[in-house]
Chain A
Amino acid sequence: MEKSGSVDSVESLCSSTTTRSDRSSGTRVSDTELRSKGRAIEKVLQCKYTSKGELPLLPEELVQDSAKDVTYICPFVGPVRGSLTVTNYRLFFRCTDREPVFGLDLPLGVLSRVEKIGAATSRGDVSYGLACKDMRNLRFVHKEPEDSLKKSVFEVLMKFAFPVSNNMSLFAFEYKQVFPENGWRVYDPLAEYKRQGLPKESWRISKVNDHYELCDSYPAALVVPVTITDEELRRISSFRAKGRIPVLSWIHPESQAAVVRASQPMVGQNGRRCKEDEKLLQAIMDANAQSHKIFIFDARPSVNAAANKMKGGGYESEDAYQNAELVFLDIHNIHVMRESQRKLKEVVYPNIEDSHWLSNLESTHWLEHIKLILAGALRIADKVESGKTSVVVHCSDGWDRTPQLTSLALIMLDSHYRTIRGFQILLEKEWLSFGHRFQQRVGHGDKNHTDADRSPIFLQFIDCVWQMTRQFPAAFEFNEYFLITILDQLYSCLFGTFLCNSEQQRLKEEVPKHTVSLWSFVNSQLEEFVNPLYVHYPSHVLFPTVGIRHLQLWVTYYIRWNPRMRPQEPVHQRYKELLAKRAELQKRVEELQREAANRTASSSSERAGSPTRSITPVQTFV
């Protein structure tokens, strides 16, 4: 890597980039290229770019427009002048009047809103505000082109930032990078259920949803008790919201207690019942010989669950479902979570208020929501592990709070999901195949930023996982960078993984055929994402402490744009250094051992050749 930056900060960042790239250099040059671009949303300009002054492009990435004399109003240092380039994938700003040289490089997918603020000033300057999905707001000032026919670079930006609203395709469909690994093959439902050790005598894989006729937001492969016929499943589907019937997520390898997910029952105000549904829950309970009870975890606050009866929904009555116990987990809906995230953004960006930081943070309720989600998952995991009881988890539609809870409980229960590939399978299964509405919740390429369907549900889940990695630093194979990469690529629209709302839609759009999976990228350079402290214990169940005292704001994610951010993970770095040192020492010791062995061998043969010498014990060092 060329070095041109004269300033320390740039050099240090470059050198750390170098070490990262070097590891895979030679074999996968293109990955390295990609990594330096794809992972970063905003970063210090790489030296090689600044020296040549040109923007490196991804395959199929095309420059759409660029403008000089744009001013970026940096909240940390004030206005910075430079040039702005817009491609079909990214926004690239490079300052020209500053040392050290710095810039912004962000995928357009991260933008949720691009707006002209106010009218032009007397000098013809126009302000643009860019709100981002990753907790930032950016602001630029630019002179309007005098020729009114010519479009401003920001108008071009608006067009490419929201391709879906402009009838264009997302960049993921253009991007044609080839990786050694194929991430679309990470998850095979049948293999996964086999891994879980699904007992054939009590559970079966039903093909009733093969063509998504039973439920268009569910996967094709569904696991149900053997005693329930497909016909009964069809009847149940009309009783469960959106046809999302109770199906198995996970089964305990020893007790056979099951984690089952569903949507709310359509009880309504009249207390409608469905005998097949009741039979199904009974069958789930019977499939586990260890317990004569079943727990139904309704993720919602009980008030919300009751209010849903007005709209035809509701919750299971304990009269209708014998041996079932219903527990409400008090987790709020997507609208409350969106509001909490909005408040959080105000508190963390751009600057942190010194004197009231903690109470400001408290007033966002963000950690409180995180706590409730983790606490709910903990209760589920505890019922399954300690109580050996099967559980059914649902919320309203069973695609937001339900996957949060089931996937967190599964991480606690099954160490496989704490590995890098296991975690990918978990996401593919609980989130993607079971139809978390990523398109709606994130709003990929959609300019309608006020859409009430947007909500940081998946972000909360990743935050919860991060909280667990803090409490158990040696229990997860992946590091923090892995989690941040997932979140960054959730918004970037570079990969196809998080596109669409369901398995059916992804098949229809032929997403796997036309896009690259995020896991292709990740699994082609796993070492980047490995937690060096990881210890694998196969049967270790994690019970995190959910008290607010042990939850902390994920500053390395939410406050990462603040230039005063503290560099993270010195422990990991140091551990890697120690590992290298150990390897070196081991090598050296082995060499010496070999030398000593040779010396001993040769000296003893000498002695053998001189019979006059008395036989003395040979001193060995080993």
Chain B
Amino acid sequence: MEKSGSIDSLGSKRSSSRQPSVDSLSSTSTSRSDRSAQAKPPFAMSSESVAASAELSPEFRVKPKPAAKQVLRDSDKEEPQLLPNETVQDRAQDVTYFCPFIGALRGTVTVTNYRLFFRCMDREPSFVLDLPLGVVSRVEKIGSASNRGDVSYGLVCKDMRNLRFAHKQMEDTLRKSIFEVLVKFAFPVSNGLQIYAYEYGQVFPENGWKVYDALSEYKRQGIPNESWRITKVNDHYEVCDTYPSTLAVPVNIPDEELKRVAAYRAKGRMPVLSWIHPESQATVARCSQPMVGVNGKRSKEDEKYLQAIMDANAQSHKLFIFDARPSVNAAANKMKGGGYESEDAYQNAELVFLDIHNIHVMRESLRKLKDVVYPNIEDSHWLSNLESTHWLEHIKLILAGALRIADKVESGKTSVVVHCSDGWDRTGQLTSLAMLMLDSYYRTVRGFEVLLEKEWLSFGHRFQLRVGHGDKNHTDADRSPVFVQFIDCVWQLTRQFPAAFEFNEYFLVTILDHLYSCLFGTFLCNSEQQRLKEEIPKRTVSLWSYINSQLEEFTNPFYVNYSNHVLFPVVGLRHLELWVGYYIRWNPRMRPQEPVHQRHKELLAKRAELQKRVDELQREVTNRSASSSSERAGSPTRSITPVQTFV
């Protein structure tokens, strides 16, 4: 483990008894429910989330009793189970939480440097709200409307909910309200504090920082080969500070020329390889917009470079350039020095606009969606309200774009270049979705982690800016749910191909929860360079450490490894659905009716049991018939074979 938090140091902490040590996590003697109860606290977002995601967190169904008992035992202490280096900052009694579904609840609030913890003891069972502070987008003091001296606070959250609290006006006017304390720790960056991820020292049996290694990923794809090479030109992030240090480029373009190509592309993000087709050698390359400007500036090097990308694929004499933007926006970018490739300058290249809107449109769309789903849903106008948010339409455009890319590469055997303006939002969505459709490796848990590390983290999707970790400036125009949208698209794929993905819905929800929680270092910072500078891998824990240490929670029991099988989803709006399990999970009325996962597990267990019995019987029959006549063994043996080919 690279992080200092060791078992010994944990032992000295007052909350150490609650922490899973390496031993207890890996030991088989620990019962399953205990394990998950221990591993759970940092991850259960709140009691409401428990209710909503019951379908996803199997231990609440399989063994609900221990879980319930756990809560009751905890409730005696009125304290959350603290994580390593998590310290209580303030506690207040008699705070009212206005739950939009249950009503006003009176209880105790505890604020630590990681979370807000509310517990209401009046109810049976007691009500618990456990909220990582990273989720809070804004805290507003709502004027004390009542004359009884209540002060009310509204917490706007990044994960599709708003919370409202109230407590009595402090008699001691000098004393700070607990919510003022909360503001300090909810926005550590703005208050000169450290994000909790740097303090969290949990040790997991697996080190998630080792999941992705650029060179071995390129090697898996067969790079370097006769047409592509690995370049170290960006080793010190001098050519492009938002790109990774390891890049794959066409063989016949020397590093010096690469620099000139980079100069012609916005932010120096030159076209580099994302994925190569193992058979046809058609490639997916990504970059930012060319700096064409109003004068239609051209770059011989860039033209030659794209020609080299095309030539690297012998199967096709054409290159498709996918510009993710609507053509109007692309043209408007010329005023700012950007623009798009003219087909005059790029012979044999065809430019396609994919009509995907920018981050501001997406942010607005998700805001509207939140209005429609939280807290109340208007039944009679649900569908038209949903339509008016245009969220699904945006999802459709992104999926349709990725589908076109995948189709060109797979069916057309043509190489493609994808870009938008800067090449770190829409471009990442498109390339990673296309790669997910094209390459079954990315549909495994580890492969998906690699995909995120590669296409999103190393290629500089600006997570810090888009999410605004620990930053109180909630109106920042750079914030946008680009990554959420991508995960939504992945979910749509899993809906259409339920057996093609090794991970389940809970995996996707967990990733999104920790996009905001600031518990892990994975989504901190904006680029590989920054992450290196901040020593993120040394100072924080990777989300993949947590996930890979309890894979059984996140695996899809129906996964079939369709290697080399390309997924072509249906992208019409008629075939897309709202991801209810994420966007409306706080509404207890949306609780799924049936523990479907449990039935799946039962079926799998039943099948294993029966298969075993069939095998036994068969052996018996074979033995018996071998001793008498051979014809009897024939039929059962033949009839058994198709069974084994499944799943």
Partners in one complex: no
Question: Taking beta carbons and an 8 Å cutoff, which residues of A are in contact with B?
Answer: none
Question: Taking beta carbons and an 8 Å cutoff, which residues of B are in contact with A?
Answer: none
